[in-house]
Amino acid sequence: MQESDLHNLALAQRQPSTPPLHVAIIMDGNGRWATVRGLARVAGHRRGALAVRRVVEAAPKLGVGTLTLYAFSSDNWQRPPLEVAALMHLFHEYLRKETAECAANGIRIGVIGRRDRLGPILRREIEAAERATARGRALLLRIAVDYSARDAILRAARRLKPGRETTREEFSGLLANTIHSPACPDVDLLIRTGGEQRLSDFLLWECAYAELYFSQRMWPDFEAADLQAALDAFHSRERRFGTVLEAAAG
Ligand code: FPP
């Protein structure tokens, strides 16, 4: 293949930064939001659930086709048992209260991560929510619960067929399957709230070319306008996917 063909191929493979986009959010800062107000950390998580509602409602109007929210990492099991129980209760309540509205608004719910360590009642609620919203096409809402990117990659790798070449696309499919996710594109934009700047074992494979956006806002304060600001920043960036743009190619 000629060098110019390679260049054209690379350009053709660039995903355009046009909707529908895949936005992933590390919803950080619930605990600090509560602590500075003299409240228990759980109060921050409860307010965080209201922010989830706001963002889910705004996302499809802002050109987001897939929204992945980091709700509970596999390392979060190490938190105090009361906080873990409160979070599990919140996830259950969210699914119980929001599923009908999501179904009515074309929002497909998928819970990604491990299921085997979740309680049977939550598992049943997850399956019911996924069934009831399966036809939604306005937004794929993926909620990550008991999720670890490194564990997911390891588990997907164990399913590879020995001696057979696997393409990136095939591996992406295997990975999605491993975490119980419907097929979806790689992440375009990763947002982390709460002022910290790290990935915390979230979507490490799927974020290979994601743009990163860090917000000082604590998650319970996150509004639709903050999502809009993150998307504005995203659209102002030049995504090159390792190649050079035509004008600079010479
Ligand atoms: C991180 O903040 C947040 C979590 C571990 C939980 C996220 C959960 C929610 C937003 C609740 C509702 C979610 C759904 C999907 C209904 P942190 O507690 O680590 O905050 P800190 O860094 O200030 O301590």
Domain assignment of residue 77, yes or no: yes
Query: How many angstroms is it from 221 CA to the middle of ligand 1?
Result: 12
Query: How many angstroms is it from 199 CA to the middle of ligand 1?
Result: 15
Q: Number of folded domains in the chain?
A: 1
94 C-beta closer than 6 A to ligand 1: yes
* Residue 133: CATH number of its domain: 3.40.1180.10
Return the structure tokens found at 8. 């054209």
**Cβ atoms of residues 22 and 184 within 8 Å:** yes
pLDDT digits (tens, 9 = 90+) for 182-201: 999 999 999 999 999 999 99
76 C-beta closer than 6 A to ligand 1: yes
Domain assignment of residue 14, yes or no: no
Residue 115: partners with Cβ closer than 8 Å, 6 or more residues away:
123, 126, 146, 180
Looking at residue 10, its pLDDT comes to 38
Q: Which residues of the chain have pLDDT under 70?
A: 1-17, 246-250
Domain assignment of residue 161, yes or no: yes
Name the residue of 27, 67, 98, 218 to mutate for ligand 1: max ligand atoms within 8 A of Cβ. 27
Domain assignment of residue 240, yes or no: no
Domain assignment of residue 6, yes or no: no
Element containing residue 170 per DSSP (H, E): helix 168-178
Looking at residue 240, its pLDDT comes to 84
Residue nearest to atom 12 of ligand 1 (CA): 49
pLDDT digits (tens, 9 = 90+) for 152-174: 999 999 999 999 999 999 999 99
222 C-beta closer than 6 A to ligand 1: no
Query: How many angstroms is it from 173 CA to the middle of ligand 1?
Result: 28
Residue nearest to atom 7 of ligand 1 (CA): 71
Looking at residue 250, its pLDDT comes to 59
For residue 29, which atom of ligand 1 is closest to its CA?
23
CB atoms near residue 194 (< 10 Å):
22
Domain assignment of residue 12, yes or no: no
Residue span of the structural domain in which 192 resides:
19-235
Query: How many angstroms is it from 74 CA to the middle of ligand 1?
Result: 13
Q: What are phi and psi of 97, to 5 degrees?
A: -85, -30
Residue nearest to atom 22 of ligand 1 (CA): 29
Domain assignment of residue 250, yes or no: no
Looking at residue 104, its pLDDT comes to 98
For residue 143, which atom of ligand 1 is closest to its CA?
15
Query: How many angstroms is it from 72 CA to the middle of ligand 1?
Result: 7
Encode 85-110: b = buried (16+ Cβ within 10 Å), e = exposed: ebbbebbbebbeebbeebbeeebbbb
Domain assignment of residue 195, yes or no: yes
pTM of the model: 0.92
